[in-house]
Structure 1
Amino acid sequence: MKNILLLFLFLFTFSNLSFAQKDYYFPGETFTDDIPSPYSYLGYHVGEWHTRYDRMVGYLEKLAESSDMAELKTVGYTNQLRPLVVLVISNANNISNLENIRNNHLKLVDPKVDMPDVSTMPAIINLAYSVHGNEPSGGEAAILSAYWLLASQSDKAKGIRDNAVVMIDPAINPDGRDRHTNWANMHRGFPPVADPLDREHNEIWPSGRVNHYWFDLNRDWLPLAQVETQSKIAWYHSWYPNVVGDFHEMGTNSTYFFEPTKPFGSENPVVPRKNYDEINNKFAGYFSKALDEIGSLYWTKETFDNSYPGYGSTYPDIQGGLGLVFEQGSSRGHIQSSQRGDITFQFTIRNQLKISMATMEAGVKERIYMHQYLREFFKTGMDEAAKNSVKSYVFGDEYDESKNRLFLKLLLDHKIKVYDNDRDISVKGKQFKKGKSWVVPTSQPQYRMVRTMFEKVTEFADSVFYDASSWTMALAYNVPFESQSGFSAGKELSSLETQELAFPEIGNYVAYMVDWSDYFAPKFLHAIQNAGVHVESNALPFTSLTDQGEKEFPAGSLIIPTAFQKMNQADLRNIIQAAAKESGQHVFASTTGFSKAGIDLGSNNISAIQVPKVLMLVGQGTSQYEAGEIWHLMDTKVGMPISKVDLSAFGRLNLFDYKTLIMTSGNYSSLSSGQLTHLKDWLSRGGTIIALRSASQWLQSQGVIQEEYLSINEETTSASKLYASRRDESGAQAIGGSIYNAYLDNTHPLGYGYRMTEIPVYRNTSIFFKPSKSPYQTPVRYTENPLLGGYISPSNLEKVKQSASVLVSPVGRGKVINFIDNPNFRGTWFGTNKLFFNAIFYGDKI
């Protein structure tokens, strides 16, 4: 009886608290009973609990079933198979006429099409929430925004329904959101605990911020590494919204941020000034009014970033829309103490709701203006292209067909027009062959995206960056490219054409061979090794007479002798052919081991490739981003499983069960002295460690490796400086993310598969190691004039010039491969991925 009474008191207390929430969220509003409220579906009022994603989708489905003014669309699925949904809301006539509205709206994007009558066209507004899963107030505001727009009887709601098509993404990152939702709900106290140190406010590793593969999806709109963003971009280009709201959270002690962002320094160089000087300020008036009405504090024109084009709030700016970042001080749970008192989940949700409503109101009131701007954006892009001395870019890697296809897919996904190169040409000393290169004209609607992909920018209005200061995707893919003052090409590509793969006819062969130069050669190698095929590789190049004529095989090529196999010739052939088809590899075969040039197939410079068994330490203290990049890389580009073992379980590990240990950036001080001894013993007996960035620093601090840090004496001054300038002064010394040219030793096992001797690398660290004392163990070091794109201070640039990007530290019979620069950054750097693949497959050959 006592328990029943306590339960009754609990429910009574919360029902009374929640009953007032209608006035809290929607004071003075009248709602129709025909539309189910969130409470009627969820069984609790929004903000009492964190809402699971399936329940959010279920409620939106219920809204679509209950009203002819709503339609729920599934645009894709996450890695964990949660649906990615968009709830479309407008008046019934618009909903029944969506395809015609969409097609008419798309006319604005093409300057060659006559301008439609925008006076009667509805605004296209996209409200997108919870791209970071542990920023949950946005997703809850999505529920309330959808309910208000459909059920409110106010003139404002009706005006939006009549004059806009509103598209609500309740959560761009459902997998991460549910991770955080479950965490917050399972640690909720009764009453809730506001102490910031309480477990509810401090997630374990990995956090809900990231998706299944531990990626930050808000950095993925440009590289499109993840399925969620791939689906989002495909949907985006089917509509080109006028306004996109991107709802986030920030530190608990902050208030609310809306645009404009920091002038000039945080703005993208290809976006028209009108976006920043006029449109942002126009919309800011709506947002300030909305928060002033409820007495919520806010700030503008500071920090945050409008320059990197891979955010959900910046990509729309390069597509003729207005992308808007919103940041709400987070409760990171149900209630948390802050410098201004306790912040409740309901308070954060209300602010997001009010800004959502203001965004819709502004989008409608400024709809004609924004339609005209959309057309103006693409027209002025074409006008700028006509004045630009660069008329096209030609690109293509003669030896890496798969990487070409990956880059082509990226361009096509961003709706960039690409044409076949129909002739052999030489541009600035670089050769581009017909059939193996392509041309991108600058004169096209996506002119500004073309610049984003190919331009190298090194001059900036500011020296402090929130994130990356360079993002040239052609450099990230390490695809040879050059600009041209003219445009000449063959047919336009509408999609990727089917590959035609060479494969030997049935014959009496001594060996099959595959060139390691192709990006997906590691995928082929893993597949056949996993099927039990014995594979060898060459340390020196050779030229063989193959079934397709003479063919040069550089160091690191795959050689599959038909002898020494555990299966018969027919099975061997079937395994190789299936793997080649799956990985897109050209296979060659020879009836003789005698080479036309270079070493023969029985040379001592050819040795077996050991089947790698890889372990990666993960968990609290390690970088969830770097670990996720590696996990995703090996899963999706190689199809190879690696063991992810929590750092806390190191004591149960027998390292001798593994050949390779990956250590991402992080703090490994939790390892005991006995565990460190085990690590050193395994390493000295022939193990291989792949260490990224600060992991190398930790190994250095523990005496595992004996490298030297680089420091350059700088002049010191006792002159006083303004206290207010301290953040900009220190920020200017950070390397937030920029691109550099480096020398590559392609005769080194880590350089196998590369045909060039210089390579672009991405650096976002201030760790500087000197090149190895051994003249042979710095396979990647910077050139004398390394800066290709982005900002770096003069003092840091001097350090870069004299430092190593990749170096190998011998330890007994083992070695540590130190990646001072991350070769897998954000799933973007296809050009340096092969360095990492080589560390896994060829590390024991160093």
Structure 2
Amino acid sequence: MLKKLLLAVLFIGTTVSAQDYFFKKYHPFNSDIPSPEEFLGYTIGQHHTRHDLIVAYLTKLAETSDRASIHEYGKTHEGRKLVILTVTSPSNLKNLDQIKSQHLQFVDPKQSPTNYNDVPIFVNLGYNVHGNEPSSSEAAMLAAYTLTASNHPEILNYINNGVIFIDPTINPDGRDRHTQWANMYQGSPLVADPQDAEHNEYWPRGRTNHYWFDLNRDWLLGINPESRGKLTWYHQWYPNVVTDFHEMGTQSSYFFEPMKDNASWDPIMPKENYIDLNNLFGDYFAKALDSIGSFYFTKEVFDGTYPGYGSSYPDLQGGLALLFEQASSRGHKQTTAFGEITFPFTIRNQYVSSIATVKAAVENKAQLRKYQQDFFKSALTNASKSRIKGYTFRDDHDPNRVKAFVDKLLLHKVDVYRTGNQFVVPTRQPQYRMVQTMFETYEKYRDSVYYDASAWSVANFYNMKYNTVSNLNLGEQITSLDNLVNPNAVSKTDYAYIMDYDDYNAVAALHYLQSKGLVVSSSFKPFTAKTTTGNQRFNYGALVVAVSLQKKDSDEVYKLVQQAQQKFQVPIFAAATGYNAAGIDLGSRYVEPVTKPKAALLIGDGVRSYDAGEVWHLLDTRVHMPITKIPMRNFGGANLDKYNTLVMVSGNYDLSKKQQEKIKNWVSKGNTLITIGTASKWAIEKKLVKERLTEKEKDSTKLVVRKPYVDAPEHLGKESVGGGIFKVDLDITHPLAFGYHDTSIPVYKNNSVWLAPSKNEYATVAKYAKNPHIDGFITKKNMEDFLKPSASLIVSKVGSGRVVLFADNPNFRGSWYGTNRLFLNALFLGDKIEIPE
């Protein structure tokens, strides 16, 4: 291996030999098509390549090769292009529409073609979903060049019998963040010392996208444009094989599938996928890597239990998803326990695996095609065997949250129908396994240690109350989101407008009106108003815009209210009197003006970037509200008096005593501190609040039973809470719970933060239910000793202010529509919370 590492360095020196380090065996190449080195002006691996240059190079290949075309399937948050280069033989490329039509017949369970060997196999080579795992995008250029320019008989066979879709950079924003870093600190000569700046990015690092989301968890959730664009493309083509190239710790070697066993008790993907096909392809990868002397391992880690990876989602679409993990050079060259690892060496392993994937797919195309055909046919067969014939769901109080859930179903091509206000999802459909993913919950597992979440029933993410049905009344099929939400247009009044606060978009509408200068009040008790369209009952939190109390005339107020309704599709009513039919009147002391949030968020070293990004994303994209992001390095000099709300998400906060006092004094002035996860634990441990953590006394008399050392990681790992869904009892009269009707809601827990219920009887907003388990793995010890006795959300008084402590993340992965409101209420209504002594 050392010899190979050294060659990677030595070969950078000369042009021809440097290129031959990667693809000497595939000569001759078409001289009219530029190599990456000729186009870029440097050898692959000599520098990290910017995304725009990668796109430019693939565009050049499409221009100069009759084997290739390029397609833009979306743009990132920062406006970078998301592209796929399609490579196949010239004749296949000319007839691609016809080939696609033939291919899709195998995906349609109503058809039964048997010409498995006659249709080119579809292979999607996907690279660089984690931006600071850069070797694969460089390998993508090498693979693209080989497939478009090589005239070697092997390559000609591959393009004649396959259509290869090369997605060079799934996360361009993160990649460019890392590329800038690596090139900025690149030395000449190269510095291999692991402590050098080149090998140690600053926060938030390049792994994530613009909003610091891990896009390799977003295939199922489909929150970001990168994922939504790829999913839309995916469901147009249904590739047979999909690669997912990654990097891992520098001290490791190389991983390819088969993975660690799936932890589900009864995995919904067929065994043929993760046993037969994985082992079949594994033989190809082993042979290819053996030929260049690379070491590797399989089966030990990286389970595909969670269905939202690039290496698991395609498995639920009749494809074979393949994970690769390369030990990272984290720069251009780095010293390891095995010698020096170089960037070119890491690239070559990814390149060799790419070509081996195409080879394996082409040589087994009949088996792969029949497998995909059987996959979708078995979806109907399996559904027919199940006693559950469908799922129904509805929420008459919150149509925009329902709309968001329907959008998620449609994104994954799940058939949805509507009868009145009720939606129906039949199980007998080609996407039956996605239906299972959306609705089924589990409590029995084969394993207890997970690479990621052990629960993902998406309906619970949306707090969607659903039921199983054995008889179906489908009604009208929903094919788009158009007309799903149609509130009656608000009429003009000179007295007051009342907005229903139950709708998910109500907070965004509230902020819109505040940003336009209107004073908006919130009702702290329900009432029934005499509106111009009849009596209307309003829940806790209903928003009131009193026309005569505004600094604008009634026409301007009406125009703004109209704009808010049209923009966010929320129910708004006009009232000509403040004398309500039932409950409090509009002039009640229980109707209080809402303070416009001036919010700040701590970011930087020690802060969990995922959680911080989720807050930023929620406010940016759904509430359209700015939030100031204060780096930890600047906190000492920051003037907190500019803000009335401060957010601290999970992290390890290394704040001095003086800085802790700064926060406490600021809260005491009447402001609101919102803490999430380990930040809540920190606030308790640093005595910012007089609350406690749930602790279980250790039995000092209990004998220690010796266990095998080799089992330690598994035994210790299962004690962590890897991600489960649990039920809480919610006080819906509390301002933090305004907008909810049901006292029982699901929350997502992926930490070991156990908050003891507050000693103040009015301060515990949400406590885990008596029987809390909904979905996911948790040990009996964690369930009985910690979860059941604990609270999920409490508020603690500090002087004239308060700290809102979330044990669980209400904004997890941008997908928890069901608990976002708890967090948003803390922002908008926090200062209205009075905690009786």
The answer to whether the aligner puts 1:701 opposite 2:699 as a matched pair is no
Letter in 2 for 1:475: N
Unmatched 5+ stretches in structure 2: 1-8
Q: Aligned match of 2:306 in 299, 305, 308? A: 308
Q: Hey, what does 1:429 align to over in structure 2?
A: none
Letter in 2 for 1:107: Q
Contact 1:266–1:465 under 8 Å retained in 2: no
- 1:125 partner SS: strand
Q: Aligned match of 1:816 in 803, 810, 815? A: 803
Offset of residue 806 of structure 1: 0.6
The whole-number CA distance in structure 1 between the counterparts of 2:663 and 2:716 is 37
Contact 1:104–1:116 under 8 Å retained in 2: no
Q: Hey, what does 1:273 align to over in structure 2?
A: 271
- 2:478 partner SS: coil
Compute the TM-score of the two structures, normalised by the length of structure 1: 0.96
Q: Hey, what does 1:136 align to over in structure 2?
A: 134
The whole-number CA distance in structure 1 between the counterparts of 2:744 and 2:466 is 14
Structure 1 runs (4+) greater than 6 angstroms displaced:
12-15
Offset of residue 129 of structure 1: 0.4
Q: Hey, what does 1:428 align to over in structure 2?
A: none
Q: Aligned match of 1:251 in 249, 253, 268? A: 249
Q: Aligned match of 2:556 in 561, 571, 579? A: 571
Letter in 1 for 2:52: D
Letter in 2 for 1:660: T
The whole-number CA distance in structure 2 between the counterparts of 1:652 and 1:321 is 54
Letter in 1 for 2:17: A
Offset of residue 113 of structure 1: 2.2
Letter in 2 for 1:769: L
The answer to whether the aligner puts 1:744 opposite 2:730 as a matched pair is yes
Count of aligned pairs between the two proteins: 820
Offset of residue 15 of structure 1: 6.4
Cα-to-partner distance string for 1:399-451 (whole Å, 9 max, x where unaligned): 00000100001000100000112xxxxxxxxxxxxx32200000000000000
Q: Aligned match of 1:525 in 507, 510, 517? A: 510
Q: Hey, what does 2:816 align to over in structure 1?
A: 829
The whole-number CA distance in structure 2 between the counterparts of 1:679 and 1:711 is 26
Q: Aligned match of 1:25 in 17, 22, 25? A: 22
Offset of residue 712 of structure 1: 2.4
Cα-to-partner distance string for 1:665-718 (whole Å, 9 max, x where unaligned): 11222x333332222111111110000111112222222112111122465332
The whole-number CA distance in structure 1 between the counterparts of 2:150 and 2:429 is 43
The whole-number CA distance in structure 2 between the counterparts of 1:772 and 1:202 is 42
Offset of residue 221 of structure 1: 0.3
Letter in 2 for 1:833: N
The answer to whether the aligner puts 1:299 opposite 2:297 as a matched pair is yes
Letter in 1 for 2:495: V
The whole-number CA distance in structure 1 between the counterparts of 2:102 and 2:180 is 43
Q: Hey, what does 2:6 align to over in structure 1?
A: none
Contact 1:266–1:303 under 8 Å retained in 2: no
Cα-to-partner distance string for 1:13-58 (whole Å, 9 max, x where unaligned): 9863454223311233311212111111000010000000111111
Q: Aligned match of 1:153 in 148, 151, 154? A: 151
CA 1:406/1:186 → structure 2, altered by over 3 Å: closer, same or farther? same
The answer to whether the aligner puts 1:16 opposite 2:16 as a matched pair is no
- 1:16 partner SS: coil
The aligned runs of 1:446-457 (5 Å cut-off) are 446-457=431-442
The whole-number CA distance in structure 2 between the counterparts of 1:13 and 1:460 is 50
CA 1:537/1:264 → structure 2, altered by over 3 Å: closer, same or farther? closer
Cα-to-partner distance string for 1:640-671 (whole Å, 9 max, x where unaligned): 011111111112222111100001111222x3
- 1:397 partner SS: coil
- 2:536 partner SS: strand
Q: Hey, what does 2:4 align to over in structure 1?
A: none
The answer to whether the aligner puts 1:487 opposite 2:472 as a matched pair is yes
The aligned runs of 1:339-738 (5 Å cut-off) are 339-421=337-419, 435-498=420-483, 499-507=485-493, 509-669=494-654, 671-713=655-697, 716-738=702-724
The whole-number CA distance in structure 2 between the counterparts of 1:136 and 1:805 is 39
Offset of residue 98 of structure 1: 1.4
Q: Hey, what does 1:5 align to over in structure 2?
A: none
Contact 1:511–1:559 under 8 Å retained in 2: yes
Q: Hey, what does 1:181 align to over in structure 2?
A: 179
The whole-number CA distance in structure 2 between the counterparts of 1:753 and 1:655 is 30
The whole-number CA distance in structure 2 between the counterparts of 1:95 and 1:758 is 55
Contact 1:267–1:306 under 8 Å retained in 2: no
- 1:528 partner SS: helix
Contact 1:320–1:378 under 8 Å retained in 2: yes
The whole-number CA distance in structure 1 between the counterparts of 2:506 and 2:113 is 49
| Comparing 695-704 and 290-299, the one that deviates more | 695-704
Letter in 1 for 2:659: Q
Q: Aligned match of 1:783 in 756, 769, 772? A: 769
The whole-number CA distance in structure 2 between the counterparts of 1:190 and 1:94 is 46
- 1:842 partner SS: helix
Q: Hey, what does 1:4 align to over in structure 2?
A: none
The whole-number CA distance in structure 2 between the counterparts of 1:266 and 1:170 is 32
Cα-to-partner distance string for 1:116-139 (whole Å, 9 max, x where unaligned): 522210000000000000000000
The whole-number CA distance in structure 1 between the counterparts of 2:671 and 2:229 is 41
CA 1:40/1:705 → structure 2, altered by over 3 Å: closer, same or farther? same
Contact 1:268–1:308 under 8 Å retained in 2: no
Q: Aligned match of 1:53 in 45, 51, 54? A: 51
The whole-number CA distance in structure 2 between the counterparts of 1:229 and 1:165 is 22
Contact 2:727–2:769 under 8 Å retained in 1: yes
The whole-number CA distance in structure 1 between the counterparts of 2:760 and 2:546 is 34
- 2:768 partner SS: strand
Offset of residue 506 of structure 1: 3.0
Q: Percent identity?
A: 47
Q: Aligned match of 1:286 in 272, 284, 287? A: 284
- 1:237 partner SS: helix
Contact 1:513–1:559 under 8 Å retained in 2: yes
Offset of residue 500 of structure 1: 2.2
The whole-number CA distance in structure 1 between the counterparts of 2:25 and 2:367 is 31
The whole-number CA distance in structure 2 between the counterparts of 1:454 and 1:16 is 56
- 2:425 partner SS: strand
CA 1:173/1:502 → structure 2, altered by over 3 Å: closer, same or farther? same
Offset of residue 268 of structure 1: 7.4
- 1:168 partner SS: strand
The aligned runs of 1:191-206 (5 Å cut-off) are 191-206=189-204
Compute the TM-score of the two structures, normalised by the length of structure 2: 0.97
Letter in 1 for 2:501: W
The answer to whether the aligner puts 1:37 opposite 2:23 as a matched pair is no
The whole-number CA distance in structure 2 between the counterparts of 1:806 and 1:13 is 59
Letter in 2 for 1:29: Y
Q: Hey, what does 1:754 align to over in structure 2?
A: 740
Contact 2:259–2:301 under 8 Å retained in 1: yes
Unmatched 5+ stretches in structure 1: 1-11, 422-434
| Comparing 649-658 and 156-165, the one that deviates more | 649-658
The answer to whether the aligner puts 1:803 opposite 2:787 as a matched pair is no
Q: Hey, what does 1:331 align to over in structure 2?
A: 329
| Comparing 95-104 and 181-190, the one that deviates more | 95-104
Offset of residue 153 of structure 1: 1.8
